[in-house]
Amino acid sequence: MSELLESRWAYLAHLLIWTVPLILLQLLALAQHYRRRTGAVLRAVLPPAFLVGGYLAVADHLAISAGIWNFGEGKHLGVYVGAVPLEEVLFFVLTSLLVSLGLALFTALLGPKEVRAP
């Protein structure tokens, strides 16, 4: 495991190790709350996550292209989406998904009365 975390798989391994368990836990909690409407919840959560993740990836592409920052060699796979390493794009999408799922859980726990505007 130590060699994996020090290789070109390091970024992806670290990313998946901390995000996947949290996403699965959030999905499990949402599935318990929305037994009949799981598909509707995913339709509400996934588009914003991909939209925000895509926006951040484009902003990152522009920053990398302008020379504001870069990613060192050897710690990522070397697969790029534009100028952005694939792992960075996944980071933006997975982090946005965590936030979207968190908001869905928050509103589910509040209940319908607290969520509606007065």
The C-alpha atoms of residue 113 and residue 7 are separated, in whole angstroms, by 50
pLDDT digits (tens, 9 = 90+) for 7-17: 788 889 889 99
pLDDT digits (tens, 9 = 90+) for 37-62: 767 777 888 899 999 999 999 999 99
Cα 64 off chain centre by: 20
> What pairs with residue 7 in β-bridges?
none
Q: Looking at residue 57, what is its pLDDT? A: 96
pLDDT digits (tens, 9 = 90+) for 69-79: 887 777 788 89
**What's the predicted TM-score (pTM) here?**
0.82
